[in-house]
Structure 1
Amino acid sequence: MKNADAINAFLALGQETRLNIFRLIVQRGDVGLTPSQIIEKLGIPNATLSFHLKELAGADLLLVERQSRNLIYRPNAKLVQDLSGFLLENCCGGKSCVPVSSIKKAKAK
């Protein structure tokens, strides 16, 4: 993943309303949500939601599918996985980030 792609995604998520929308959509996974369902759950005005969905889709964080008269928004799982990998790629110099004491406690259980 290129730095520019990661920055674009993080900028889109760096706004509280967009982060809340994205988290709600991620919870639904492949089922996705319609704008009406998002409005119902988060109480966001329609025009505001449209703006934020456009920003999230523009950052490639959401996939949009038209089903009849409805738009279904789903998380772009591939991008989310790529972002996670990008963040953890050089984590802890290639060593486990979990403290040794935590590993010992987990093995003892």
Structure 2
Amino acid sequence: MDMKSALAALAALGQDTRLEIFRLLVKAGGEGIPAGEIAARLGAVQNTISAHLKILDHAGLVRAAREGRTIRYVADMTGFRDLLAYLMEDCCNGAPELCRPVINAVTCDC
């Protein structure tokens, strides 16, 4: 990941509704959630949620899959891992054991 991509991802997550959407999709796992259901769960207008999802998609943090007339969104964990790797690239000034608690906190079997 380069700085421009990292900035896009951080900017996308720097807005409260988009952060809520991303956290909701992370919680949903690989099954994802249809756009309409995301709007309903967050109590938001569907076209507003669609605009937020488009920003998250362009930032590489979500993926969309069409199922007939429905679009299902899934958190793109590869994009998120790339962001974390970029942020921690030169971690701890040569003492990577200091980063172990952070790595353990974000590591899952997903």
TM class by smaller structure: 0.7 to 0.9
Secondary structure at the aligned position of 2:98 is classed as coil
Aligned to 2:88: 88
TM score, norm. by length of structure 2: 0.83
Q: Report the RMSD for the aligned CA atoms in angstroms.
A: 1.2
Tell me, which stretches of 5 or more residues in structure 1 are unaligned? 99-109
Separation of aligned partners in 2, 1:60 and 1:81: 11
Separation of aligned partners in 2, 1:19 and 1:27: 12
Tell me, which stretches of 5 or more residues in structure 2 are unaligned? 100-110
TM score, norm. by length of structure 1: 0.83
Moved over 4 A (4+): none
2:90 counterpart letter in structure 1? N
Q: Where do 1:14-93 residues align within 5 Å?
A: 14-93=14-93
1:78 counterpart letter in structure 2? T
| Count, aligned residues | 98
> Identity, % of aligned pairs?
39
Larger Rg: 1
Secondary structure at the aligned position of 1:44 is classed as coil
